[in-house]
Amino acid sequence: MHQRIEHLRAETTSVVVDVSGGVPVILHWGAALDHVPSSWQEGIRTYGTMDVVAPISMVPMNGDGFPGRPGLQVHRRGGRHWSPRFRAAGHAVTRGENCSMLESRAIDEVSESEIVCRLRLEDDGVLTASAEFRNNSDSPVMLNAFTITLPIAGQATELAVFAGRWSRELQLQRFSWPYGAWTSENRVGRTSHEHPPYLFALETAANEWSGQAWGIHAAWSGNHSMFSEWMPDGRRYVQAGELFHPGEMCVYSGESLSAVDVVGVYSGLGLNGVSRGFHREARRRLPHNVSRPRPVHLNTWEAVYFAHDEARLRSLADVAASVGVERFVLDDGWFGGRRNDRTGLGDWTVSREVYPDGLAPLVSHVRELGMEFGIWVEPEMANPDSDMLRAHPEWALITDGYEPVMGRRQHVIDLTNIDAFEHVLGALDALLADHDISYVKWDMNRWHVQGSRLDGTAATHAQTLAVYVMLDELRRRHPLVEFESCASGGGRIDHEILRRTERVWTSDCNDALERQYIQRGASMIIPAEVMGSHIGPARAHTTGRRLSMAMRGVTAMFGHMGVEADVTAMGDDELSDLRHVIGVHKRFRSLIHTGESVRFETFDLTAGAALSHGVISTDRSEAILAYVQLASVQAPVAPAWRIPGLDPERDYVVRMVPLTREAVPVPGTAVDQPAWLRASLADEPQSMSGAFLRDVGLVPPVMWPESAVLVHLSGS
């Protein structure tokens, strides 16, 4: 069969596709090509194999002789039609606004089914791949798997993925690509702390700023599978998509099922280039509300926990407003009998025990102080000890006949049950309609375990879609309300939830030292304006570590800043420092939330000694950067801090930005160090070219462990 080759091209990326054989075959996904030959050899036949080299198509098939994992695993009753084989039935290439698109249709007459594959290449190089399976027969089809496959060039010899847990999310793990198959699967019903659906394939020499790198993301908020294989013939590929429970997916006659979007980013400029693509795609998907400045938060959780008292909360709001907070977020404990985590969850009415006059007086007080009012909810969950589940035990997402496995003393609510869905939606709608609430922190704290609908079938897929529908409907009814995705911290961070939320809660850990690692991982996949990052108390809630305001402030600086501490318990000096660091954030907020986040290669990173990162404006005229000393090192003077990414022809004025009030030096910051220790980061502004900063760099000051400096570069 003669190839029919189509070429989707962006400035930095080419996607070359053969559409002649049925399901499209991506022949090249990588560096931009000026010329594509009329034929392309996809694989070489070796002895002991089949006569034809089965291609790595977008949805590879066992029926084509593909020896790896099929992208489509299906069967009908009795096991029939388990290995379909599709032929091409037409395709089209179109030009959209700032993108090129390919749509291809393939059919199998024997199984009476078809697959429609779509590729969308943005002009900035971001690739979105999707597929749709259609059942054209008169009998149902069971789907065990339906994933998207992307080929990876042979020079990608390493993989990098995120590992994690509660309060230690997004820890990057990099390793040699093993021979054979490597897989990561998630079955907890949310994007997960443990196995987030992101994978990076890298050249061995690739780093933050150079080398070829590929990023792949399954944009889905439920169960998923990330699979890679180094095949015996040397080819490599990555599969990404939804993971189905047994019997969960059935496509009935005349119906169709869409695989989840797979977002791919290629960069010849290292991991920062991949991150830039993921950030641009996230920004395209975000709701329009995120275009305005991101308000500085105060969240009440670590200030009061469940001990709600209106007078105390008013005082908290008074102090918050005085230091520059712009949004006051009331966390768990405001509703029903919710005085602890054992009761009341699911009863979304204001507690008259705690708020005898309702929430309106507190909301009015906050608004009179010039702040917005936000509120915490967990709509997908309920305690067994709640009015909701006492009245409707059948609304729990459990499996009849079995003792439920408990988590956090709560059940998941079956939002696929229309009565349960309407009840929860109605309660949230009334809450937002009756109060001047501009922000909702939407939490999700429990895994799906043996979660079945009333008919006994697995429900995670349908439950995930129901969450999307509820968020979409609430936004339709309340278009000015913003939403945050929280799932015990960073358990639901993906590009599909970002279509519906203006913010994600990155972690329940507000320890600034731990957050340096967590947010470094998060910066690889999401832009700073959606990354919730709070200044916690001097002693961290999750680790017990004590850190300076400067260290806490510089860490929260590079995200959507907030405060999560009892500000009424702070002394005058600490409050003044807090006010100062919030002011610094507001000064640079526009740059941080519109520029390009970057990470630098820094001294002894593997040993955890130092990290550096920052944001460079898109026109390269300005940058705000942080150098963070995490631990002590053998040599007191660090190697030069080289800063790529600037305009090499431009001169920049380099200024240190005080992280606390200049009149009160804080031990561990450059402000209190003698002049002979400050090296090239001097008190007085200096002028340096972008080329000098790239090739020679700055010499960081001698710093104490757990301290940081903030540097502003402005082009002259």
> Which pair of structure tokens corresponds to residue 275?
């991150």
Give every CB contact of residue 97 below 8 A, 6+ residues apart in sequence. Answer: none
State the pLDDT at residue 40.
83
Active site residue 443: yes
- What are the b/e assignments for 360-392, b being 16+ CB within 10 Å? eebbebbeeeebbbbbbbbbbbbbbebbbbeeb
Tokens 């070219």: give the residue. 689
State the pLDDT at residue 660.
83
Annotated active-site residue in 443, 494, 511, 577:
443
Closest of 425, 495, 429, 433 to residue 466, by C-alpha: 425
Active site residue 508: yes
> Which pair of structure tokens corresponds to residue 271?
């991991």
- Residue 437 located in a structural domain: no
Q: What is the pTM of this model?
A: 0.95
Closest of 87, 115, 85, 86 to residue 103, by C-alpha: 115
Instruction: Tell me which H or E stretch contains 377.
Output: strand 372-377
Specify the 3-state DSSP secondary structure of 714: strand
Which stretches of 464-568 are assigned E, i.e. beta strand? 482-485, 503-505, 531-535, 560-563
Tell me the mean pLDDT per 10 residues along the chain, length 716.
86 96 95 90 69 89 93 92 93 95 97 97 98 96 97 97 97 97 97 98 96 98 98 96 97 97 98 98 89 94 97 98 98 96 97 96 98 98 98 97 95 98 98 98 97 96 98 97 98 98 98 97 98 97 96 98 98 96 98 97 63 97 96 79 96 92 45 40 80 93 89 93
- Residue 452 located in a structural domain: no
Annotated active-site residue in 64, 332, 347, 508:
508
Q: Final residue of a domain: which of 285, 313, 333?
A: 285
User: Which residue(s) pair with 441 in the sheet?
Assistant: 376, 484
Q: Final residue of a domain: which of 266, 285, 304?
A: 285
Closest of 665, 503, 504, 518 to residue 580, by C-alpha: 665
Instruction: Tell me which H or E stretch contains 441.
Output: strand 439-442
C-alpha distances (whole Å) from 6 to each of 14, 25, 119, 362, 644 are: 10, 10, 11, 61, 36
Burial of 600 (0-12, 13-18, 19+ CB in 10 A): buried
- What are the b/e assignments for 87-107, b being 16+ CB within 10 Å? ebeebeeeeeeebbebbbbbb
How many domains, the chain? Answer: 2
- Residue 165 located in a structural domain: yes
Give every CB contact of residue 426 below 8 A, 6+ residues apart in sequence. Answer: none
Q: Final residue of a domain: which of 263, 285, 307?
A: 285
> Which pair of structure tokens corresponds to residue 613?
């990162």
CA distance 486 to 378: 9
Q: In what order do the strands lie in the sheet with 596-600?
A: 596-600, 610-616, 622-629, 707-715, 651-657, 686-689
Q: Give just the sign of the alpha carbon dihedral 423, 425, 429, 431.
A: positive
Helices (H), 386-511: 387-391, 418-434, 460-477
- Residue 373 located in a structural domain: no
Radius of gyration of the chain (CA): 27
- Residue 451 located in a structural domain: no
Instruction: Tell me which H or E stretch contains 303.
Output: helix 301-304
- Residue 112 located in a structural domain: yes
238 neighbors 231 (Cβ within 8 angstroms): no
- Residue 650: DSSP 8-state: S
Instruction: Return the CATH number at 93.
Output: 2.70.98.60
Closest of 135, 94, 129 to residue 24, by C-alpha: 129
State the pLDDT at residue 638.
79
Instruction: Return the CATH number at 640.
Output: 2.60.40.1180
- Residue 467 located in a structural domain: no
Report the amino acid identity of residue 322. S
- Residue 638 located in a structural domain: yes
Burial of 675 (0-12, 13-18, 19+ CB in 10 A): exposed
Q: What is the DSSP string of 43-88?
A: ----TTS-SS----BSS--GGGT--S--SEEEE-GGGTT-S---EE
671 neighbors 664 (Cβ within 8 angstroms): no
Report the amino acid identity of residue 227. F
Length of the chain (residues): 716
Residues of the domain holding 658: 598-715
CA distance 238 to 99: 23
Give every CB contact of residue 44 below 8 A, 6+ residues apart in sequence. Answer: 53, 233
